[in-house]
């Protein structure tokens, strides 16, 4: 799908505040409300807007620890990798999972309330992987940037 300048403006506005009314959005991007609504609907149907969500503060719900976990596999086995991906997709503690290049095979972003919860996660998900060689955990001391927006241009 080819995005024009108005589409880009709509996307930038929605990335800053997806909760604004269609009327407010239309006014900001210089469209009538019906035309703006039509464009937003098209952007959703085309998969440009994948999902509209509320970002909940982890601190507010007691999930204070963020871990960056590097997973090293024994072999580059396709079935074992898919099994690992499936297990991490099912684990509510895993917020992001990346298959990466280099010495590390996967990088996980794991969000837990305390070390006891992290230990239980490791036993339930990581240690059960027969193809795992080792893993390294980096504990985030503080988040200095958290940005869900995508850079947009024509």
The β-bridge partners of 32 are: none
Mean pLDDT of 133-145: 95
Condensed to tens digits (0 to 9), the pLDDT of residues 64-111 reads 999 999 999 999 899 999 999 999 999 999 999 999 999 999 999 999
Contact between 68 and 137 under an 8 Å Cβ cutoff? The reply is yes
Three-state DSSP class for residue 85:
helix
Q: Residue 75 and residue 3: Cα distance in Å, rounded?
A: 42
Q: For residue 94, how many other CB atoms are within 10 A of its CB?
A: 18
Q: In what order do the strands lie in the sheet with 132-139?
A: 94-99, 106-112, 65-73, 132-139
In the chain, the domains with their CATH numbers are 5-45 (1.10.10.10), 59-139 (3.30.70.920)
Among 61, 57, 56, 65, residue whose Cα is nearest residue 117: 65
Condensed to tens digits (0 to 9), the pLDDT of residues 19-69 reads 999 999 999 999 999 999 999 999 999 999 999 999 898 889 988 999 999
pLDDT score of 140: 95
Mean pLDDT of 136-147: 94
pLDDT score of 153: 84
pTM for this entry: 0.84
Does residue 154 carry a pLDDT above 90?
no
Does residue 138 carry a pLDDT above 90?
yes
pLDDT score of 31: 97
């Amino acid at each position: 799908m080819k995005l024009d300048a108005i589409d880009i403006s709509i996307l930038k506005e929605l990335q800053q505040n997806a909760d604004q009314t269609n009327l407010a959005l239309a006014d900001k991007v210089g469209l009538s409300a019906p035309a703006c609504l039509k464009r937003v609907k098209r952007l959703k149907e085309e998969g440009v807007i994948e999902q509209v969500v509320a970002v909940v503060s982890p601190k507010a719900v007691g999930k204070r620890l963020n871990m960056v976990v590097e997973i090293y596999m024994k072999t580059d086995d396709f079935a074992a990798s898919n099994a690992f991906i499936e297990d991490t997709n099912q684990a509510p503690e895993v917020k992001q999972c990346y298959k990466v290049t280099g010495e590390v095979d996967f990088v996980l972003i794991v969000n837990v309330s305390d070390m006891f919860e992290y230990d239980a996660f490791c036993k339930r998900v990581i240690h059960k992987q027969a193809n795992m060689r080792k893993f390294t955990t980096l504990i985030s001391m503080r988040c200095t940037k958290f940005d869900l927006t995508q850079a947009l241009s024509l």
